Chains A and B, each alone.
Chain A
């Protein structure tokens, strides 16, 4: 496990309490898991992705990640319609471990962009990790 100070937590994205990240790109939001999450899960061996077109509320489970240790649920940080999924993960789940920020998982068209603003910034997310 990495020390908190060794975690890669970019400034320009937001984080959820469930350790997903979200990044606004035009009118869509791109979603993945944080460096802390990929490090805690260990080697990811399978990613279960949602269907494009599926609609979820913020906080709903939209897929699962299977690592050598366990299966974990993925929760959507911002509600809306799934407009793209990263198909490369089907054959190469290690992309998430290699770099969890280029190894994105889904893109969502948000129903309410206000939900993005409620996510944690780098500083608040770091505080959350320290508390855990």
Chain B
């Protein structure tokens, strides 16, 4: 089929650099030594590192070919639900790579790095403004690290009131890392089943919340892409029992400039700059997971934060009640620069439009595909829509087959088999980056795949066929992993 951008082309094979290298080859001419030779202490000598000898073109072709096997948001649509794989504007890279910023030494005294500190200070304030919360630390290195900071703040808060608590409420539509972050801090996660409408019901929280429970971790919008409409009432119940509300802000791309997290009753919230604020997810990192809190909890935030006294910026002095440092130096500073660049280039009105369009795009996909794929919850969705393979079961076609076939058509697959509350989940998050024409093409491709599932299921079972590697045996890879090349 030739709907969608996927075609096949010449695939270049490429060996490991060690297989490619030949003794004596190199990438530069080293000048003759013009200093007298001298003996070296034998104890300092040993076998050198095992590096291959390569010319410049060997190395350039190697990495260029590897890059051709790759797929990124710069290649095509990347609707990986829950991950907000939006386009990363190149102007972010330009500023983060500027020598004044990139080469600033992290150990400079405050007076010599005022610009660096101003970047952090401004970002702290913008993130507070966007979430509605009062105080921000930009130290945590990623989302789960922000969750950990949040749980340490919960713990510090309850300690300060002289009462240790042991449990934490955990909806089944929370992000998968939430229970792990709570457990790391010694809390026992108490699972809550979401109600029939895919969101939390007030009665469940009323029944479960007690004075042994430190609070609740809510992802809002949740991992079904649904807004937790009862959040304010839930927060009131949790607060009345002395607990705190943690907001997982991983899905903030749906509600920027629309929902005020403080007014929702959230006490602590982390953001993923590598999702909502357009910094790269990188090859597994680095990201940044700033943690935002109410005024009452500001004293517990990781330290140091950046302060401004009207004339100069400085790192604050140690706060005795702080949960401590979460990261060395200024955190993942390059990521902070890119996020601030995004906020400044967009401006308040456009950030709000980002969320509106992210929701519009997901809703458009939801409406147009719901007759073709089973829609788990047929309700207004936010930034992502969760389908499943239920309609394809009679043809013995699974979510995995659909995802693999999408790759052949030129798309990164959506998130599959998550959230766990939807068996065979297909979680599509287009983000605001995709235009109407590209959404339409994607929808046409999914419809085509749904037809193929009925008429030519083998096409899906064999997929992907257009890549350097074809259908991988994921079971064998997990049962007998080969980690050494």
Q: Are A68 and B420 in contact (CB under 8 A)?
A: no
Separation of A46 and B423 alpha carbons in the complex (Å): 20
Q: Are B478 and A68 in contact (CB under 8 A)?
A: yes
- Taking CB as reference atom, which chain A residue is nearest B474? A68
Q: How far is the CB of A117 from chain B (nearest CB, A)?
A: 27
Q: How would residues 47 to 89 of chain A score, 1 for a CB under 8 Å from any chain B CB and 0 otherwise?
A: 0000000000000000000101110100000000000000000
- Taking CB as reference atom, which chain A residue is nearest B423? A40
Residues of B within 8 A of A107 (CB): none
- A43 contacts B by Cβ under 8 Å: yes
Q: How far is the CB of A69 from chain B (nearest CB, A)?
A: 4
Separation of A46 and B481 alpha carbons in the complex (Å): 12
> Given that A69-B417, A70-B418 are contacting pairs, would A45 and B423 also be in contact in the complex, using a CB cutoff of 8 Å?
no
- Taking CB as reference atom, which chain B residue is nearest A94? B479
Q: Are A45 and B479 in contact (CB under 8 A)?
A: yes
- A110 contacts B by Cβ under 8 Å: no
Q: How far is the CB of B286 from chain A (nearest CB, A)?
A: 26
Q: Are A45 and B478 in contact (CB under 8 A)?
A: yes
Separation of A69 and B426 alpha carbons in the complex (Å): 12
Which one of B393, B417, B478 lies within 8 Å of A70 (CB-CB)?
Answer: B417
Residues of B within 8 A of A131 (CB): none
Q: Are A1 and B393 in contact (CB under 8 A)?
A: yes
- B439-467 residues with Cβ-Cβ distance < 8 A to A are none
Residues of A within 8 A of B418 (CB): 70
Q: How far is the CB of B480 from chain A (nearest CB, A)?
A: 9
Q: How would residues 114 to 128 of chain A score, 1 for a CB under 8 Å from any chain B CB and 0 otherwise?
A: 000000000000000
Separation of A70 and B119 alpha carbons in the complex (Å): 40
- A93 contacts B by Cβ under 8 Å: yes
Separation of A69 and B398 alpha carbons in the complex (Å): 12
- Taking CB as reference atom, which chain B residue is nearest A45? B478
Q: Are A45 and B420 in contact (CB under 8 A)?
A: no
Q: Are A45 and B417 in contact (CB under 8 A)?
A: no
Residues of A within 8 A of B478 (CB): 43, 45-46, 66, 68
Q: How far is the CB of B9 from chain A (nearest CB, A)?
A: 30
Q: Are B475 and A68 in contact (CB under 8 A)?
A: yes
Residues of B within 8 A of A72 (CB): 420
Interface of B is mostly: mixed
Q: Are A70 and B420 in contact (CB under 8 A)?
A: yes
- A1-27 residues with Cβ-Cβ distance < 8 A to B are 1
Residues of B within 8 A of A1 (CB): 393, 398
Which one of B398, B416, B475 lies within 8 Å of A45 (CB-CB)?
Answer: B475
- B399-444 residues with Cβ-Cβ distance < 8 A to A are 416-418, 420, 423
Max count, chain B CB within 10 A of own CB: residue among A46, A69, A70, A94: A69
Residues of A within 8 A of B417 (CB): 69-70
- B339-360 residues with Cβ-Cβ distance < 8 A to A are none
Q: Are A43 and B420 in contact (CB under 8 A)?
A: no
- Taking CB as reference atom, which chain B residue is nearest A72? B420
- Taking CB as reference atom, which chain A residue is nearest B399? A69
Max count, chain A CB within 10 A of own CB: residue among B418, B423, B474, B475: B475
Separation of A93 and B480 alpha carbons in the complex (Å): 11
Separation of A94 and B474 alpha carbons in the complex (Å): 13
- Taking CB as reference atom, which chain A residue is nearest B479? A45
Q: How far is the CB of B141 from chain A (nearest CB, A)?
A: 24
Residues of A within 8 A of B479 (CB): 43, 45, 93-94
Q: How far is the CB of B248 from chain A (nearest CB, A)?
A: 19
Q: How far is the CB of A58 from chain B (nearest CB, A)?
A: 17
- Taking CB as reference atom, which chain A residue is nearest B389? A1
Q: How far is the CB of A42 from chain B (nearest CB, A)?
A: 8
- Taking CB as reference atom, which chain A residue is nearest B191? A73
Residues of B within 8 A of A69 (CB): 416-417
Q: How far is the CB of B230 from chain A (nearest CB, A)?
A: 26
Separation of A69 and B418 alpha carbons in the complex (Å): 8
Residues of A within 8 A of B475 (CB): 43, 45, 68, 94
Q: How far is the CB of B342 from chain A (nearest CB, A)?
A: 33
Separation of A69 and B388 alpha carbons in the complex (Å): 14
Separation of A70 and B416 alpha carbons in the complex (Å): 10
- Taking CB as reference atom, which chain A residue is nearest B417? A69
- Taking CB as reference atom, which chain A residue is nearest B398? A1
- Taking CB as reference atom, which chain A residue is nearest B418? A70
- Taking CB as reference atom, which chain B residue is nearest A69? B417
Q: How far is the CB of A44 from chain B (nearest CB, A)?
A: 9
Separation of A45 and B393 alpha carbons in the complex (Å): 23
Residues of A within 8 A of B398 (CB): 1
Q: How far is the CB of B139 from chain A (nearest CB, A)?
A: 29
Q: How far is the CB of B180 from chain A (nearest CB, A)?
A: 11
Separation of A40 and B398 alpha carbons in the complex (Å): 11
Separation of A81 and B238 alpha carbons in the complex (Å): 36
A-B pairs with beta carbons under 8 Å apart, 14 shown: A1-B393, A1-B398, A40-B423, A43-B475, A43-B479, A45-B475, A45-B478, A46-B478, A66-B478, A68-B474, A68-B478, A69-B416, A69-B417, A72-B420
Q: Which of A's residues lie within 8 Å of B, judged by CB? A: 1, 40, 43, 45-46, 66, 68-70, 72, 93-94
Given contacts A40-B423, A45-B475, A69-B416, 11 further A-B contacts (CB under 8 A): A1-B393, A1-B398, A43-B475, A43-B479, A45-B479, A68-B475, A68-B478, A69-B417, A70-B418, A72-B420, A94-B479
The 6 tightest CB contacts between A and B, nearest first, are: A45-B478, A43-B475, A69-B417, A68-B474, A45-B479, A70-B417
